[in-house]
Amino acid sequence: MRELQRRYEAGGDGPAIVGVSIDEGEDALKRVAKAVRKQGIRYPIFLDDQESPAWAALKVRAVPTMMLVDGGGRVVWRFTGPDGDERLEEALAKLASSARP
């Protein structure tokens, strides 16, 4: 998540950075807020809807999962596991090079 925070702080015309928490229970908001403060996260974090969860719609099977979703709502890259920051850089570079005319 360090790379997501770095990219969010850099701003610019890059991809939008958002987080989705799948925490459940009455104290979910408190737990998420504590984690956000502890990790210094500044990008928006949404609490997933319990009745129609994003994790189900996006077929998230484990956490952490990172994905890139294009403007049409299609998942164009997905990675599950602890090495997401490094893999994200590789994926963004590959997508940028394939988007060039």
Tens of pLDDT, residues 36-89: 999 999 999 999 877 888 888 888 888 889 998 877 888 889 999 888 888 888
pLDDT at 7: 84
CATH of the domain spanning 2-99: 3.40.30.10
pTM: 0.76
- Is residue 92 within 8 A of residue 66, CB to CB? The reply is no
Could you tell me which of 100, 91, 88 has the C-alpha nearest to residue 7? Answer: 88
d(CA 49, CA 46): 9
